[in-house]
Amino acid sequence: MSEIELVADEITNQDDASPEAELITRRLGWAFWLCVCWLVVIVLAAVLAPWLPLKDPNANLVNRDLGRPPYSPSSEFWFGSDQDARDVFSRTIFGARVSLTVGFVAIAFGMVIGGTLGILSGYFRGWWDRIISFAFVVLLSFPALVLAILITSLLDRGLMTISLTLGFLAIAPVGRLARATTIQYAEREFVVAARTLGARHPRIIIRELLPNVVIPMGALALLGMAVAIVAEGGLAFLGLSVQKEETWGKLILLGAGSRDLEKSPWISMAPIFILFLTVLALNFAGDKIRAYFDVKETAL
C-alpha cells in the first residue's frame, strides 16, 4: 500500500526519539574536508604563483637532450610541455589565477545583484516582486550562450568583461533561490514577532532574514562557481575567452587538436584534470553544505 511506503521514508524525520537525538544525525564527513583541502591548495597556488618556485609559464624551455617539443611528463616537466616547450604544470597553475578569478567574480556579482533583488522582492512582495520575478524569467529564458557571445564579441574581452558576463547570467538563478528562501522564512513567526516588537524593514532583512538566506545561497555559490569555470572553458573553445592571460579553457583548447590529443595528450590532460578536480570539489562541497543545513532544518 502506497501510503505505508510513503511514511516509511518519512519516518526518520518525525522520529519519536528524544528531542536532541536527531539534531546531529549527519556530519560533513571526511570527503567534504578533502574537497576543502584541494580548494585551499589550488587557491593558494594560484594566489602565490608568482612567488612559487615555478618555471616561467611563458618561457620556451627548449631542451636539446629531449628532442623536439612537446616533451612528455618527466622529472623536469611534471606535466610535460606544450608544442612551444612551455611547462604545462606552471601554465596550469598560472591559468588557475584567471579561471578562479572569473569564477569568483562572476558568482560574487550574481550573488550581490541577484541576492539583493531576490530578498527584496521576496520580503516586500507586491508589484516590485512581480516585476523582478518577471525579469528573472526573461533572463532565464534568454539563451545564455548567445548572450555571452553577443557581449564578448561586442566589448573588449578583458577579464572583467568575461566575469561580469557570466555573473550577469547568474543573477536570475541566484535571485530566484534568494526570493524563494526569503518567502519561506518571512512567513515564520519570528519575523512577525520582530515586526511587532518594532523592528524596521532593514533590521528585519539584515538581522532576521539574511542569516537564514545566506546558507542556501552559499551552497549555491560554490556550485555556481563551478558552472562559471566550466562556462569560461566553453567560451575559450569559441575563441571568446579572456584575450591576454592564459585560462584553463585556453590551455585545454591548445592541446585539443586531434593530432596533439593523439600524440601528446598531456598538454590538454593536465588542465582538464585540474579543472575536473576543482569543479568536482566545488560541486561536492556545495552539495554537502546544503545537505548539512537541510538536516538541521528538518530537525527544527
Partner 1 sequence: MAGTGTAHLRDGDVVLRVDDLVVEFPMGRHATVSAVAGVSFDVLRGETLGIVGESGCGKSTTGRAIMQITAPTSGTVSFEGTDLTSLSYSDLREARTKIQMIFQDPISSLNPRRKVRDSVKDPLDIWQRGSEAQRIELVNSILEQVGIDPERAAESRPHQFSGGQCQRISIARALVLDPTLIICDEPVSALDVSVQAQVLNLLEDLKQQYGLTLIFIAHDLAVVKNISDRVAVMYLGKLCEVASSDDLYGRPAHPYTNVLVESIPIPDPELAVAGTTITGEPPSPVNPPSGCRFHPRCPYADDICSRTEPTMRSIGDGHFVACHHPLVTPVSIA
Partner 2 sequence: MTVRLQTEGRVSEGTLLEIADVKTHFRTERGLVRAVDGVTFSLERGKALGIVGESGSGKTVLSRTIMGLLPSTAVLSGSVRFAGQEILGLDARQMRHLWGSEMSMVFQNPMVSLNPLMKIGKQIIEPLQIHLGMDKTNAVATAERLLRDVRIPEPEKRLGQFPHELSGGMRQRVMIAIALACGPTLLFADEPTTALDVTVQAQILELIGEQRKDRNMSVILVTHDLGVVAGHTDEIAVMYGGRLVEKAPTRELFANMKMPYTKSLMRSIPKLEDPSHTRLLTIPGRPPDLVNPPKGCRFAPRCAYAREKCVQHEPPLIVSDTSSEHFYACWYPVGSPEFEERDVEIMTNVGVGGSA
Tell me which of 203, 206, 239, 261 binds partner 1, using CB under 8 A.
Answer: 203
Query: Taking CB within 5 to 8 Å according to partner kind, which of partner 2, partner 1, none is near residue 6?
Result: partner 2
Binding marks (x or -) toward partner 2, 12..51, rule CB under 8 A? x-xxxxxxxxx-xxxx------------------------
CA distances from 300 to 33, 179, 208, 280, 290 (A): 26, 21, 17, 30, 15
Cis peptide before 70 (omega within 30 of 0): yes
Asked if 195 is part of the footprint of partner 1 (rule: CB under 8 A), the reply reads yes
Give the binding range for partner 1 (CB under 8 A) out of 15-23, 108-116, 149-157, 259-267: 15-23
Query: Residue 287: helix, strand or coil by DSSP?
Result: helix
- Cα separation, 75 vs 65, in Å, equals 14
Asked if 207 is part of the footprint of partner 1 (rule: CB under 8 A), the reply reads yes
CA distances from 246 to 78, 100, 250 (A): 19, 12, 6
| Dihedral angle of Cα 50, 231, 166, 98, to the nearest 10 degrees | 0
In sequence order, the 6+-apart residues with CB closer than 8 A to the CB of 79 are 73, 87, 88, 89, 92, 266, 270
Binding marks (x or -) toward partner 1, 257..296, rule CB under 8 A? ---------------------------------------x
Contact 92, 248 (CB under 8 A): yes
Asked if 5 is part of the footprint of partner 2 (rule: CB under 8 A), the reply reads yes
Residue closer to partner 2 by CB (options 15, 56) is 15
Residue closer to partner 1 by CB (options 108, 210) is 210
Where does this chain bind partner 2 (CB under 8 A)?
A: 1-8, 10-12, 14-22, 24-27
Q: Catalog residues that contact partner 1 under the rule CB under 8 A.
A: 19-20, 23, 188-190, 192-200, 203, 207-208, 211-212, 215, 296-297, 299-300
